[in-house]
Amino acid sequence: MIVDAFLRWVETAKAGDRAKAASALGRAYLQSDMSADERNAAEMAMAFLLDDPSPKVRLAMAEAVAWSPDAPRAIVLSLASDQAEIACHAITCSPLLTDCDLIDLAARGSAVTRMLIAARATISRPVAAAIAEIGEEEDVLCLLENEGAAVAPQSLKRIAERLGDCCDVRNMLLDRADLPADARQLLTRHVSNALVNLPLAQAAIGAGRLQRVAREATEAAVVSIAGEIAPREVADLVEHLRVTGQLTPSFLMHALCSGKIEFFAGAIVNLTACDERRVRSILATGRMHAVRALYESAGLARDISVIFVEATLLWREASSTTSGTVLANVCGRLLQRFGSRDMAHGAVQELLEMVEKLHVAEQRQSARGYAQMTVSAAA
């Protein structure tokens, strides 16, 4: 009977009065001792108010009940699907919304809905994965800024794939210690692409040279990343580079000359499908013919594999000495050994040009270090 009277009153009451009644009804439901019949009646009344034409009424009810774990779940779900001003209370605060609810809201809602979800105090990996998959720049930024969001490495990689060309997203990702190596490599490519597409840079340097510079810079960045990642990440990074066609002879030589042996061995394991322990054994102690057979089974041509064999032997020797750096020793001696050859094969020429650039860069770095030491000693 009380519900009947309430519903009759609602038909003629002003919007402001209906809003006050909705707020009072919600608070009474949560805070008053009600019998089962009274609670059912209150729920029915709140369900009726969900169709109220005034947003003020629905907003008042959302403010009264959305935060509570004791609120009627059906009411909260309906409020979460309302217009943004009303839904924000349920979406950001309600403990009743499950991962499935939030994922469904993210899929069928607007960018504002996804941003509200991304702003929740805690976000599970499945919900974060949904936002990573379909979110736009602003809601993904909100997710990345949320310290309570559990974002899986695969979701971070997906964000890098989809939105890595957005400067703010890229910077947020690069600041994360948990960013996987393959995602970090993707972002280096986005940076290179942004550089290549700059009209001013194209005019100043030329499109062809700019692309070459960008490619070399990306390669150097990936080699640097490869030397810093945890061993468990090597296989994923290698597979990503193989799938994207970046495990080129030039790149592999760069990694080998730089002493990134953990990564280099992982790359050879991937390319040959050989047992990892056998590959490492051959690289560390195998005879020349075994090393060359290993490289050729990885797809390296004979004239290129010879250079890799020599680089491997030089690496072994350089890594056992304390004078100079591995990079300088390997690159310098490779150039002495092969630099004067008749370069009939374009791939060989390209490979040795890369080695020479590494050698020059290392010499300049050594010169800078020596100059700094000299200045420091004189001070």
**pTM, whole model, 2 decimals?**
0.67
**Residue 131 located in a structural domain:** no
Question: How many distinct structural domains can be found in the chain?
Answer: 1
Would you say residue 330 lies in a domain? yes
The rounded Cα 240 to chain-centroid distance in angstroms is 13
Residue 16 belongs to a domain: no
Residue 266: which domain range?
247-372
In a domain, 276, yes or no: yes
Residue 324 lies in a domain: yes
Q: What is the pLDDT along the chain (379 residues), one digit of tens a residue?
A: 566 677 778 778 899 999 998 999 999 999 988 888 888 988 989 999 999 999 999 999 999 999 999 999 999 999 999 999 999 999 999 999 999 999 999 999 999 999 999 999 999 999 999 999 999 999 999 999 999 999 999 999 999 999 988 889 999 998 998 999 888 888 877 766 655 555 654 555 555 555 555 566 666 777 777 777 788 888 888 998 898 888 888 888 888 888 888 889 999 999 999 999 999 999 999 999 999 999 999 999 888 899 999 989 888 887 776 555 556 677 888 888 886 555 546 778 878 888 887 777 777 666 666 567 666 666 5
| pLDDT value of position 201 | 46
In a domain, 230, yes or no: no
